[in-house]
Structure 1
C-alpha cells in the first residue's frame, strides 16, 4: 500500500523492492494507493504519469487507487472500503509504505492480514496523525513487523513507543547496474548534454523542495562556493527545484542578492528521470538536511556513481559516508569548504567508493525484505496478528 505516487526517494526505493520480488518469481505483488494524484512541491503529480507507477506496471504489477486526491482527508466511504477490502483479501501479507496508509488499514472492515510497515524517516513525531495510526495498528495486533531503513529510524520509533521486538533494520540499497561510475569520455558527454563544461567542478543537490532539506543553507553555501570558484557549477534537481516554484525563486533572490550574476552557474532542473547520468557527471553529491532523514537515497546513489558525498549529520548519513565522504557543520562556510575538499580528494576516494559498492546492493536489500515477508506469512506468525 502506498499513500500516493510521486517523486521521492522512499517511493523509488520501495518500488525497486517490489519490482525485484515480483519479477524474481518467488512473490506476486499488487499495489493499492490511497490517492490518484497529489499536489506537492508546487507540482500536481498524477499517479499514471509517475515513473514509479510506470515501472511497476511494466514489471506486471497490478496497481490500483482510490478515487480521491491527497487534498481529500474526509472519512473513507463504504465504496472505498469495499475496494480496499477486495485488494487486501487476495493478499497473504500487506506491506505499507510508511505509516500514512494505516489510516485506511485501521478502518473497520479492512481484512485481517499480517502487516509489515516500512519506515523511511527519523522524525515520527512530525508526521501528523501517522504515528497515532501506527500505534493503533500495533495495539490492535495488526502489525507483524516494522522494517526500518536505518538505525536512526529504529531508535526514533522505539523511543516513540513502538515495541523493539517488531523493529528490524534493512539498510537502503540501489541497482548497481544503473548507478555506477562511467568512463571519462562518457562523463564528458553527460556534461555536454547538461550544458556544462567538461572539466568544471560540479556539485549536485538532489532533493525535493521541503523545509527538512534546508534549501536556504544549501543556497547560502552555493553562493559562497560559486563566488570563490570562477569555473564551478551547482545543479539542483527534484520536485520543486525549478523556477516554476515561486518559493524557490524567493530563496534564490535572498541568497544571491549581492551577486545575481552567479546564478548563471546555478542550474535548476526540477524532476529528472535520468538521475544515474546526473550523478555520474558530478564531483560532489550534497545534502544539507536538518531533520527527518534516515538513510538518504541521494547519498547512496551519488556515491555509487562516483560522486563524493558531503552531508550534514542527520539520520544515518554519517555512517553511510564514513571513509569516503565528509560530514559537516550546518553553516554555509563549512559546507562550501567541504565541497572544495571533496573535489580535491575525489581521486583519492574513488577506490574506496568502488570497494563500498556491494554494501549498497539493492539485491541484498530485496532479499532481506523477502525474508521478513516470508517470516510473517508463515503459520507461526498467526498468533502475532490475531488479537483483534
Structure 2
C-alpha cells in the first residue's frame, strides 16, 4: 500500500490516518509506505517541517518508509497549493506507485497529483475526513474526475455526516464506506498521576476546573466564539483555567492575540493569566487527563472530531456545537450547545459540576471508540480491494 499525503502538518486527519497505517502493519499482513507532496508547509501561522512532525516520527519509528516530493508551500484551507508537477516529481511518484497494489489518498487533495497522465494505474481509496466538500475547492472536482476515470474505487468516510455530504455533492453512494474514528485506549484513559503532573506544570491548583480547547488556528474552528465563551466562563468561575493548544495557538500568532483583545477587552488584564496558550503538543493524553472539559466551537467542516473522542476517553466531559457527527458522538456523555458564548460557558460549568456523573457512561463507551475496531474495519475494506486486484477484477468492495 502507498499512502499519499498533501503534507505533514498538525491535524486530526493525519493523526488518524497515520495511526491506521501503524495498526495495519502491526500484524505483518500488509506493507505500507507514505509519499508526501510537501516536505514543509506554512499554515496557522506556523512553519511545519515533515521531519519535525509527530506523525512522521511515529511512522518512521514503526518501520514505515516516508518520502517527499520536497515541495515547500503555504497551504490554504480547501485548496491545492499547485496542480502542475514537474517531470522529476512525476517520476518519483511513478516509482513510489509502482510497488503498490492499492493507493490510499489522505483526503482528496492528493488526487491533483494522482490524476496526472502517465502515472501507473492503481486502484485508489480516498480517505475523507470533513463534512464540507463544497469548501474543498478544486479537490472535489479532482475526486469526481478520478471516479469517472475508474481510478477511485472506494472512499472511506470517518463519519456519517461525511458520507451524507459527499453523496449530496454528487459522489456515488455505493463508493462511500463509513469507518468511524477510533483512538488508542491504552494511551487515552483517565490517569490521576498525569492529571496532577500537567496541572503542576502550568501552576494550576489540583482542584481548579479546567477547560481544554484543542484546535488549530483556522476559521472553521471558530476561535473568536471560543474566546468569548472563555471570557464569560472565567468571569463566572473565579478559579477556572482555560488551556488552548494546536498549531497557531501561541503567543507568536498576532491574529490570535487580536482575537483575544477583542473577546476579552478590558478583562484581559484580570482574566488573561488563566488562559494558557500551549501551541502544538505531542502529549495530548496528558493535556486531556489534566482537564475537566474538552470544548469544541467549530462552525463547519468537522466530521468526527478527534479532540472530542480523545478527551472523552481521558475522562473530560465534551461540550460541542452541533457540527458534523459531534452531537451523536457526545450524546449521553456531554453537552451540545448553540453558537452562543453565554450558553457555551453555562454548559462548561454544568460539565464540571456533573463530571463524576458522566464518568460511568464515558467508561462504558470505550469499546465504541476503539482503535482496534477502526483498524479492523480498514483492513477488511482494503482486503476486498486487494483481492479484486489480484483476481484481475475491476476493484469493488461490499458496503460497510
Give the TM-score normalised by structure 2. Answer: 0.94
Deviations 1:198-222 (A, max 9, x none): 1100000000000000001000000
User: Who is 1:143 aligned against?
Assistant: 152
Whole-Å separation in 2 of the counterparts to 1:362 and 1:160: 29
Aligned residue for 2:60, secondary structure, equals: helix
Please state if 1:245 is matched with 2:248.
no
Whole-Å separation in 2 of the counterparts to 1:106 and 1:177: 39
Please state if 1:8 is matched with 2:11.
yes
Q: Is the 8 A contact 1:151 1:316 kept in 2?
A: yes
Q: 2:385 aligns with which of 354, 376, 382?
A: 376
| CA shift for structure 1 position 150 | 0.2
Aligned residue for 1:34, secondary structure, equals: strand
Change (3 A) 1:385 1:189: closer
Whole-Å separation in 2 of the counterparts to 1:223 and 1:56: 39
User: Who is 2:205 aligned against?
Assistant: 197
The residue correspondences of 1:54-93 to structure 2 (distance < 5 A) are 54-71=57-74, 73=82, 75-93=84-102
Aligned residue for 1:26, secondary structure, equals: coil
Q: Is the 8 A contact 1:173 1:364 kept in 2?
A: yes
The residue correspondences of 1:1-388 to structure 2 (distance < 5 A) are 1-71=4-74, 73=82, 75-183=84-192, 185-260=193-268, 261-379=270-388, 382-384=392-394
Whole-Å separation in 2 of the counterparts to 1:44 and 1:187: 30
Q: Is the 8 A contact 1:30 1:62 kept in 2?
A: yes
The structure with higher relative contact order (CA 8 Å, sep 6+) is 1
Give the TM-score normalised by structure 1. Answer: 0.97
CA RMSD, aligned part only? 1.3
Change (3 A) 1:67 1:347: same
Deviations 1:152-196 (A, max 9, x none): 00000000110001000000000001000013x542222112321
| CA shift for structure 1 position 35 | 0.6
| CA shift for structure 1 position 229 | 1.0
Q: Is the 8 A contact 2:111 2:142 kept in 1?
A: yes
Q: Is the 8 A contact 1:113 1:385 kept in 2?
A: no
Whole-Å separation in 2 of the counterparts to 1:358 and 1:47: 32
Note the residue ranges of structure 2 that are not aligned, 5 or more in a row.
75-80
Whole-Å separation in 2 of the counterparts to 1:252 and 1:311: 20
Aligned residue for 1:27, secondary structure, equals: coil
